[in-house]
Structure 1
Amino acid sequence: MTASTERFREFRMPDVGEGLTEAEILKWYVAVGDTVSDGQVVCEVETAKAAVELPIPFDGVVHELRFGEGTTVDVGTPIISVDTTPGAGPAEPEAAPAAPEPEAEPQGRQAVLVGYGAAPSSTKRRARKAPAESAPKAAYAAAVQAELNGHAAPAPAPVAPAAPAPAVVGPAGAGAERPLAKPPVRKLAKDLGIDLGAVTPTGPGGVVTRDDVHAAAQAVAEPAAPAVRPVQAVPAGAAASAGETRAGETRIPVKGVRKATAQAMVASAFTAPHVTEFITVDVTRTMKLVQKLKADPDMAGLRVNPLLIVAKALLVAIRRNPDVNAAWDEENQEIVRKDYVNLGIAAATPRGLIVPNIKDAQAKTLPELSKALADLVSTAREGRTSPADMSGGTVTITNVGVFGVDTGTPILNPGESAILAVGAIKLQPWVHKGEVKPRHVTTLALSFDHRLVDGELGSKVLADTAAVLEQPKRLLTWG
């Protein structure tokens, strides 16, 4: 192991949960030249399940950010390089851009988040170019030292990767020298599609700086938003081939949570044989109970709504019909019945649909369940739901009624046995005690995996849930 390898340590993209293979860098909290300490959060990444903040497991000074914001990186790939001995003087020009050999972390100090575990990486390191031999070493070393001392401007988020920067060429003819620039600046120029040979350097010894690259980029055009592909209109009447965009169309890359949701729904729909049953129920008494609970001192400060009672009703139905709380083990051809209920709640967020779950929901009192629901919703809206919170669900509720929808045919969350859709609660004419009266009515839809839940069992779960909502006093007699 060389001295350079010992000095510069790399933090690799960890597996932040459940065998994920890649993550997108959403935001850097540090820049080149910043001092970092063990446990400090250096960036936020989005996986296929959630946004997660990554702490770095060692001290030092940021030497290089390997990828810009908006870049998707494979697990195991180095994303940041840290100089662990910044007082040792300038790094050798040839050593700075060279990729260090993989270095084993000390036992218990691997670059992973607490509770997630490390995933072995087979990612191949991208070859990196060494500085040109013709570059004056003194100027290059001074530039690297300035980077380490924090004199360079922090690296802003680059836009979506454009076409690779053209090869640097000088005036016509052979012998043109390669422009002087540090590796992070070269990468920035490549990301922005800027030819370093066309950039006017302002750094010491004719070194191209970050500011020089950004000035060149602004002179060419304003950066485009990374999330949307530019529209390249197809002439009217012409047939658009795959990948082409007609005038008036916008293409949005499918990645992160949306991509994972799409893949999971396709896998679920074409793996588990879905059956959906419906029931329309008078929930007037449930609505009255909600109002009474809001005034109950034991529920003070807690959010009380119909969804809370629906969740409790479903938990009672599962308790009466425990075989529904199971999973299908395809590999071993077994049905795995579970004594715990991890109740999933489908939540629409800016990043897409996610389904965090309340662990051991069957053991919670009504106030505890109310608090758990409130925490789950607020965390999801803030984009802070952890991968662990979305793993291990057994049964899910999706409240389509908040959108004014009467009902639907929900698709199972992969690995779960059932999902209950709750429709909008509306005043409707209803026969009550032999007379037509306006009553609060809703429609429930239960989809279940017919491999492990037959029609009788599914019907009992749905009917019991409806019965509790119609007569909430059953929470006492059945619960």
Structure 2
Amino acid sequence: MIAEFLLPDLGEGLPEAEIVQWHVAEGDTVTLNQTIAEVETAKAIVEIPSPYAGTVQGLHAAAGDVVEVGSPLVSFDLGGTDAGTPAAPPAEATREAGAGLAVETVTEAPLDAPADDIAARATPNLVGYGAAPASGNRPKRRARGGGTAVIDSDHAVREAAPHDVVKTGPIDLPLERPRSTPPVRKLAKDLGVDLVLVAAAHPGEMVTRGHVEEFAARTPAMPEVAASAPAHPGGTVARGQVGEVTASAPASMSTVPPTGRSGDRVTRTPIRGVRKHTAAAMVQSAFTAPHATTFLTLDVTATTELLASLKTDRALDGHRIGVLAIVAKAVCLALGRTPALNAKWDEAAGEIVEHHYVNLGIAAATDRGLVVPVIPDADRLDLVDLADAIAELAATARAGRTAPAAMTGGTFSITNVGVFGVDAGTPILNPGEAGILAVGALRRTPWEHHGEIALRDVLTLSLSFDHRLVDGAEAARFLTDVAGVLREPGRAMLLR
């Protein structure tokens, strides 16, 4: 018997996913929950396990294809005696049955059943939407014409989705197709404007012609270099010329992504996945929360000396405690004294939601774009546990394995721009958060110390905050508290 497996809703409410790679091919024998593919959503790469044990009959998409949720992904031959008597799903699948991954469902209804009831039974069921409608008596299963067996939704494998991928609530980003009219969509296409970004700046509204024109006026397109223009060695452009500047890539690195389109002098890559999600989030944040940024440069020599002493402590072997861990601990302590920076502006409810816990986001730059995984209840962790959590979070993000659920629910974020040699910046808030702290590069700098000039370890902190929630005085107090811990780590004993 043949069963079609449809791409499930992976728990984030996103309408599509891109096939990154297949782990199986036609004719392969698979076991229950064996990984069959990796797909990229707007947040992360997710492994798709098999909901059946059987043989792969066919793959309905190739690597690089974008598949809509609910569309066929792979067909399985589950065996069985004949087309009219399908084999039952594996016992494991039956035990774990529930409202799970999408499988086509056609159950045999009584002859006198209403037509609406029969149609309802044939509706595909996706993760998170509950079990398919059914009467009190479980109907029998039958095969569809042509020998394609269809499995009752009671036998769908709910646990086939990754266990850490759960629906955590609505996302305030326009991840579905923006509401607009055909003329507006054509105008956006002609102007080179992404309607998702326009909708992010006007949440809850239908995108109009005026919205598109306003967005296009704010973000004029960069002219492309004419194909006849002379080449410039090293991928640079002489001063005064306008065009795209592309750094030279190593010989082993392809300059044309597999999903991109190349021309004589440009490379075009579809905007999707993490990059599209990040862009929508940043546009929404920039045009809904009034940003303000304050800076503080300070001497952190006492912190670096503390870290040097911790490295020689045998009890801490295997733990990598760095400046970022100290900053994270200082942030958790300072948020307790400045709760406005650990709050959320709830426009729909007309309320300010103050959190009595710290879910700390740590921005991580990956090959797929910027992601911000969250350390839940970071304020309850000691310094060693916090350092371990940051290290694990960074390693998982670099590998592209951060689960979508691990990037939601943050209350405050930190971005370490110092690793790129940058001293300061004006970071954009994550939507729904009141503050984000950028940590600059640690530099050995001549500095006034006890009335004399000495070489000291110095860095700059940049705090961006939502001015609807946080006043300048509160932002300054928070930044001073964080700096106080970095100047004198012993002060952490006094903060409460």
How high is the TM-score relative to the length of structure 2?
0.67
**Equivalent residue runs for 1:9-20 within 5 Å:** 9-20=3-14
Superposed displacement of residue 87, structure 1: 6.2
Letter in 2 for 1:8: I
Q: Where does residue 104 of structure 1 map in the other structure? A: 153
Q: Where does residue 415 of structure 1 map in the other structure? A: 432
1:17-70 Cα shifts (integer Å, max 9, x gaps): 322221111111111111222211110111111111011222221111111111
Which of 18, 23, 33 is equivalent to 1:24? 18
CA distance in 1, matches of 2:419, 2:334: 23
Which of 41, 45, 55 is equivalent to 2:49? 55
Change (3 A) 1:474 1:317: same
SS in 1 for 2:38: strand
Asked if 1:79 corresponds to 2:79, the answer is no
Asked if 1:378 corresponds to 2:395, the answer is yes
1:110-137 Cα shifts (integer Å, max 9, x gaps): 7544354589xx99xxxxxxxxxxxxxx
**Equivalent residue runs for 1:455-470 within 5 Å:** 455-470=472-487
Which of 95, 107, 113 is equivalent to 2:146? 95
Q: Single out whichever of 269-278 and 16-25 deviates more from structure 2.
A: 16-25
SS in 1 for 2:470: coil
Count of aligned pairs: 354
Letter in 2 for 1:73: V
Identity %: 51
Structure possessing the higher radius of gyration over alpha carbons: 1
Preserved contact between residue 327 and residue 417 of structure 1 (Cα < 8 Å): yes
Preserved contact between residue 14 and residue 111 of structure 1 (Cα < 8 Å): no
Superposed displacement of residue 323, structure 1: 2.9
Preserved contact between residue 30 and residue 55 of structure 2 (Cα < 8 Å): yes
Superposed displacement of residue 322, structure 1: 2.4
Asked if 1:230 corresponds to 2:262, the answer is yes
CA distance in 2, matches of 1:306, 1:360: 20
SS in 2 for 1:406: coil
Preserved contact between residue 165 and residue 404 of structure 2 (Cα < 8 Å): no
1:367-398 Cα shifts (integer Å, max 9, x gaps): 11111111111111111111111111111110
CA distance in 2, matches of 1:461, 1:326: 14
SS in 2 for 1:11: strand
CA distance in 2, matches of 1:225, 1:401: 29
Superposed displacement of residue 227, structure 1: 2.1
**Equivalent residue runs for 1:74-153 within 5 Å:** 74-85=68-79, 88=82, 95=146, 104-106=153-155, 109=158, 112-116=161-165
Asked if 1:356 corresponds to 2:373, the answer is yes
Asked if 1:435 corresponds to 2:452, the answer is yes
1:126-167 Cα shifts (integer Å, max 9, x gaps): xxxxxxxxxxxxxxxxxxxxxxxxxxxxxxxxxxxxxxxxxx
Q: Where does residue 39 of structure 1 map in the other structure? A: 33
Superposed displacement of residue 445, structure 1: 0.4
CA distance in 1, matches of 2:259, 2:164: 31
**Equivalent residue runs for 1:112-261 within 5 Å:** 112-116=161-165, 226-231=258-263, 247-261=264-278
CA distance in 2, matches of 1:225, 1:318: 42
CA distance in 1, matches of 2:258, 2:464: 38
Superposed displacement of residue 108, structure 1: 6.3
SS in 1 for 2:302: helix
* 4+ runs deviating over 6 angstroms: 89-92
Preserved contact between residue 343 and residue 396 of structure 1 (Cα < 8 Å): yes
Q: Where does residue 316 of structure 1 map in the other structure? A: 333
Structure 1 unaligned residues grouped into runs of 5+: 1-6, 124-223, 232-246
Preserved contact between residue 33 and residue 160 of structure 2 (Cα < 8 Å): no
SS in 2 for 1:270: helix
Superposed displacement of residue 107, structure 1: 6.8
Structure 2 unaligned residues grouped into runs of 5+: 87-142, 170-175, 178-255
Change (3 A) 1:116 1:440: closer
Change (3 A) 1:87 1:295: farther
CA distance in 2, matches of 1:88, 1:304: 62
Superposed displacement of residue 88, structure 1: 4.2
Q: Where does residue 186 of structure 2 map in the other structure? A: none
CA distance in 1, matches of 2:314, 2:390: 19
Which of 352, 355, 360 is equivalent to 1:335? 352
CA distance in 2, matches of 1:292, 1:76: 56
Change (3 A) 1:225 1:462: closer
Change (3 A) 1:290 1:25: same
Q: Where does residue 283 of structure 1 map in the other structure? A: 300
Q: CA RMSD in A?
A: 2.7
CA distance in 1, matches of 2:339, 2:438: 19
CA distance in 1, matches of 2:151, 2:55: 19
Preserved contact between residue 228 and residue 250 of structure 1 (Cα < 8 Å): yes
CA distance in 1, matches of 2:445, 2:466: 32
Superposed displacement of residue 102, structure 1: 8.8
Q: Where does residue 298 of structure 1 map in the other structure? A: 315
SS in 2 for 1:310: helix
How high is the TM-score relative to the length of structure 1?
0.69
